[in-house]
Amino acid sequence: MSQSIFHQTVLCQTQTVAEHQSKVSSFALGVNKGKNPLLSTNFRGNRLCVRKRKLVMGRHRHVDAIPRAVLTTNLASELSGKFNLDGNIELQVGVSSSVPGAATQVDIKVSYNSDSLLLHWGVVRDQPGKWILPSHSPDGTKVYKNRALRTPFVKSDSGSFLKIEIDDPAAQAIEFLILDEAKNKWFKNNGQNFHIKLPVKNKLSQEVSVPEDLVQIQAYLRWERKGKQMYTPEQEKEEYEAARRELLEKVARGTSVQDLRAKLTNKTNAAEVKETSVSEAETSVSEAEKPSVSEAEKPSVSEAKTIPDELVQIQAYIRWEKAGKPNYSQEQQLMEFEEARKELLAELEKGASLDEIRKKIIKGEIQTKVAKQLKTKKYFRAERIQRKKRDLMQLINRNVAESIDEKFIDAPAPKASTVIEHYANAREEYESGLVLNKEIYKLDDNDLLVLITKDAGKIKVHLATDSKKPFALHWALSRTSEEWLVPPATALPPGSVTMNEAAETPFKAGSLSHPSYEVQSLDIEVDDDTFKGMPFVIQSDGKWMKNNGSNFYIEFGGKKQIRKDFGDGKGTAKFLLDKIAEKESEAQKSFMHRFNIASDVIDEAKNAGQLGFVGILVWMRFMATRQLIWNKNYNVKPREISKAQDRLTDLLQDVYASYPQYRETVRMILSTVGRGGEGDVGQRIRDEILVIQRKNDCKGGMMEEWHQKLHNNTSPDDVVICQALIDYINSDFDIGVYWKTLSDNGITKERLLSYDRAIHSEPNFRRDQKEGLLQDLGNYMRTLKAVHSGADLESAISNCMGYKSEGQGFMVGVQINPVPGLPTGFPELLEFVMEHVEDKNVEPLLEGLLEARQELRPSLSKSQSRLKDLLFLDVALDSMVRTAVERSYEELNNAGPENIMYFIYLVLENLALSSDDNEDLIYCLKGWDLALSMCKSKDTHWALYAKSVLDRTRLALTNKAHLYQQILQPSAEYLGSLLGVDRWAVEIFTEEIIRAGSAASLSTLLNRLDPELRKTANLGSWQVISPVETVGYVEVVDELLAVQNKSYERPTILIAKSVKGEEEIPDGTVAVLTPDMPDVLSHVSVRARNSKVCFATCFDPNILANLQENKGKLLRLKPTSADVVYSEVKEGEFIDDKSTHLKDVGSVSPISLARKKFSGRYAVSSEEFTGEMVGAKSRNISYLKGKVASWIGIPTSVAIPFGVFEHVLSDKSNQAVAERVNILKKKLIEGDFSALKEIRETVLQLNAPSQLVEELKTKMKSSGMPWPGDEGEQRWEQAWKAIKSEKTFIILVWGSKWNERAYFSTRKVKLDHDYLSMAVLVQEVINADYAFVIHTTNPSSGDSSEIYAEVVKGLGETLVGAYPGRALSFICKKRDLNSPQVLGYPSKPIGLFIRQSIIFRSDSNGEDLEGYAGAGLYDR
């Protein structure tokens, strides 16, 4: 049931009704776990939905019942005080009460006229000096800092007047001051508050009472009027009792209970009741809305004897509760409602009155005939929300930051270095020892350098200043930061004088190591390594100089060793990271300093773009993971920290609103920073711990040490410490539990001792302190989280929904108002989330979390003052999804594919909602939606289709991880080096960022589902691309590309983690096994089949890991069309093995090339294509004309035939180019392979003969192709010379003869490279919807009776090029082409489309040769 006692309806009772008078539940949003719920007409599960009265949340209308400030020209009331204010100004105060029990009226008259006169006031109950803010106040009243009310006076001719009604029976006095706001002038009572006693009200007669259901209605209306805030249990009880007092007052004034009920439930036509601070509810129910009862079911009592619906609802709830809170259908709910009515009518027939029935219900004495059901999973399911149907395409974000490669970051002009900065750099170079610490302090207009080094086991302290005044160092040594110890005699420089706990040493002019610098310096050597630092101050001309009012303190090992190999900062906002590193010594002082520095660099981050905010993210992340010092020798108040946080988060919310392309990065920054808050929120950390100590008698030991830490430097560690204390108390004071909670969250004994205010002791509480401490520490946790844990779900919800914490004595109160403009029903949605946050079955929770994020999403795109609270809530909901999914892993071990697919859908949706550029993720989400639908409908292809979506989702995750690595890691490397961050923390930085989000959970779920899909779809663990049985030695490599030019001396089976699709297969390789999925028709696949090399994809990571473990061993591979069987072979068996011939593969080339000659023609049309003029690519295009269906486009083509390149090269205009090419070819023959690149670059200098231009122009135009020159001379130059270095132009195609891959490939099969001739196929590019390749023999099985086809969307480049993902593939028997068998659905995320264009393609005589895969080696 709901954790809100006013959820859905108030015509009901809490728990079993008998608990009403002793227990009050929360009527705020239920974020406090373990709260007892209220009866609702909704039964959880499918809910008991009766047609209920209109008294439901969100449907109340407010009645103008607020008392107004009125003019009281006639003070007829009893005069309670007369005062003189500031000379001739007179104040009169009168107090009266019209009837006993009625509200007290206070009349105030001031002989002073001002438009800005205010009464600053509150009432006092039983604690003198503590102001209570009444729930009723005159119009225009405002709450001031949650401490007082401010009400404007009403002007008249003779002064200003005010009337206040106080209906709080516990109020003993009113206290106030008068303020002229415009003049900031206060009127006081001799420097004190005005204190006016109120008449003591007689206690209401014990016999006067009101029914509990009416108290609930009144309390609900109060809660609704106050904005549905979140209350503590104490506040809930206080509000409940305040509602009771209001109703008792009305009874005391003569209103009957029946009239109260009629007015509250609107059952009569009586006039509307105008009550103070109460919103009247509409509760009329038409006869048509009441549940219908058949004649047979009607009770045999008089029609006058009817049971009110609210009593039926209570009884229905009691029945439902006794039955074990089952999950009723709507029909069952209505039946239960009528059964409850029958039970009450039976009591009525026995002669009981309605009041007697009501009492029986409260005592639980109405007999019910229900059997408690078993709460087993078999009969029950968790309650779920009904998710809204949404157009997934509306979730697409295309907020993409500018490319790092394209972004040029202008660093601000560097400031001129000071004398001391120059000196410090020179001194650092001079020192031979290790630099341990370096600080430069400001001393008025001068600088002070302190440099700590270690050499030959000694600590050396070097101080220098550019001041001209005489300086003396007043110093000591310390083993902790607090103490001053007299230095040993061996450490005292000449001229030193010792005194009480310190020494004094004068600076000397100049520096022995750097005499050219005009400085004063001082050197100290310490050979006792037990000293950890040096406190000091400077004395000059009788003046003491300190560090911002505190002693200076330098740690001997204060900084981690800084590496000097931090690189050039490429791929980072280097100037910003340098500045951050420079400011780190200041940032280490406290969180206040760090957050203020971060705020100061926000504008520079904006100028640097995405990399600027990445720099801040890396810095804040290093802080959050405790890689940086949180506090050093500086005391700071919690409110100062929260104020600095507030400033930073305000700036970040502005960036989020104004720069959509940086939102994902800003979200990650916010997740490392607490929310903060102005003033009172942080101050409560300081105050509330004192209250806890005082209330629970725990002022010494660990609690006092923690109190000192909290007062001087609170941090996120305090959240962990508080939780550890709560766990310790809950475990019946098991100290091991305390240390476990600390350890699990990264806090060790050493860390506790490292605080400036160290925690030495363990907690040690008495058993009688247990309940009080649990309650107070639980409340304190909310205060700590409000400052330090912005992404904590409970805290984030509280900040958005609003809450109020009362002050106690000196402790300030806090009131956070609800964020305005939230979607309708959003509070109930968050309530649902918190009700289920610890459920073992997390599916309903995930649905609630994601529905909340979807509902919140529109608000995140709007700029408003409370945007950061919504962002923290969204981050918290995001984080809870990951937490819940990780909790579900064990349960999912036995789950079916459909359940896992649904979890994948939810987690993917979560990831998409957190990503800036999420288009690919949304398409994957659509794919999973369809896969789930296919699975539910028992579609025979569901698993095959789901496998393709799974593959595409993996690609999307890989791309996201690659993007994170590209954007984040360089900044982590550079800044980590500058700050001396542990190397391991730097190396895993990006990996940990990914693990902290949904991507890691999603990857885990995909890995669980993959084998299930492969099994269901009969895909097996392998896809065999080239089924060749072989024997070889296992080698493991990261990338096939890295070894493609290598030659193995023995038959080698390569296990390659990455195969893109365009690589060469190295010499000596007999098999390539990979987890990657290149297309069956990719270049590497074709080369493997033509070279008789076994090539297969392994989908099972366990099998692949086992193969890798066989590194160096001799294995035999026996592939089939769908599997690879492998076994170890002994060396002796291999000698006579049939695979030994593989050692000699390629020793004699079975293929050769014939030299082609220039035919005398520079261009030919497709009708003129012959084997002597063009290659197979051109001839196949010509052959297909007229032989395929009309819907298959054949591109219009012409060609520059064989021999033209050589003829152009021999032209007189290109003589210099020809000579240079010949020289470079000789270098190539001699083994200098760098000549390949030089030849390509030289070929680009060729000039085009005019005859070539004219013939090509004529052929293209006569074939109906556009001529590039028609667009201008520059366009032809692009086509010829490839000015833009594109890969599809004429000279570049010719030059590709000398590509490294092409050259080494021909050498491998001993083709004469000089005989290689290059034609250029010129084609008009068809803007295709789909492209495909068909093999007339199945390449995987060698079956010539069937075709094998692969289809992609858009141009075919994604099919034959190295584009990730798989194409749609199918086989089909040639005898039955109408019955294709789909082998795999597409998973390629990219489709290529192009406007009308021309492409220049390679067409050599070395392509499409039988037994040699030459296609794709050249540019096209």
> Which residues are known to be catalytic?
1083
Pull the structure tokens for residue 543.
Answer: 């003046």
Which stretches within 1110-1168 are classed as H helix?
1131-1135
CA distance linking residue 188 with residue 175, whole number of Å: 11
Residue 221: beta bridge partners?
none
Which stretches within 1282-1374 are classed as H helix?
1290-1295, 1300-1308, 1357-1360
String of DSSP letters for 403-429: PTTT----PPPPPPPPHHHHHHHHHHH
Residue 161: beta bridge partners?
109, 154
CA torsion through residues 1294, 1296, 1298, 1302, sign:
negative
Residue 212, amino acid = E
CA distance linking residue 924 with residue 954, whole number of Å: 10
Asked if residues 449 and 427 have their Cβ atoms less than 8 Å apart, the reply is yes
Strand bridging mode 173-180 / 194-197: antiparallel
Asked if residues 1054 and 1088 have their Cβ atoms less than 8 Å apart, the reply is no
Dihedrals phi, psi of 1155, to nearest 5 degrees:
-65, 135
Asked if residues 698 and 769 have their Cβ atoms less than 8 Å apart, the reply is yes
Q: Which of 954, 956, 939 is nearest to 1017 (CA)?
A: 939
Q: What angle do CA 440, 444, 446 make, to 5 degrees?
A: 50
CA distance linking residue 1200 with residue 1222, whole number of Å: 23
Q: What angle do CA 306, 311, 313 make, to 5 degrees?
A: 115
Asked if residues 454 and 437 have their Cβ atoms less than 8 Å apart, the reply is no
Buried b (16+ CB within 10 A) or exposed e, 102-129: bbbbbbbbbebebeebbbbbbbbeeeee
Burial of 190 (0-12, 13-18, 19+ CB in 10 A): exposed
SS3 content of the chain, % helix, strand, coil (to 5): 40, 20, 40
End-to-end CA distance of the chain: 68
Q: Which of 532, 524, 528, 534 is nearest to 477 (CA)?
A: 534
Asked if residues 330 and 301 have their Cβ atoms less than 8 Å apart, the reply is no
The 3-state secondary structure of 1167-1234 reads HHCCCCCCCHHHHHHHHHCCCCCCCCCCCCEEEECCCHHHHHHCCHHHHHHHHHHHHHHHHHHCCCCC
Which stretches within 418-467 are classed as H helix?
419-430
Residue 414 half-sphere exposure toward CB, CA atoms < 13 A: 7
Asked if residues 224 and 25 have their Cβ atoms less than 8 Å apart, the reply is no
Burial of 469 (0-12, 13-18, 19+ CB in 10 A): middle
Q: Cα-atom radius of gyration of the chain, to the nearest Å?
A: 42
Which stretches within 544-700 are classed as H helix?
574-587, 591-600, 602-608, 610-624, 638-658, 663-672, 680-696
CA distance linking residue 724 with residue 891, whole number of Å: 28
Spatial neighbors of 1116 by CB under 8 A, at least 6 apart, are 1029, 1030, 1031, 1126, 1127, 1128, 1129, 1137, 1139
CA distance linking residue 63 with residue 82, whole number of Å: 36
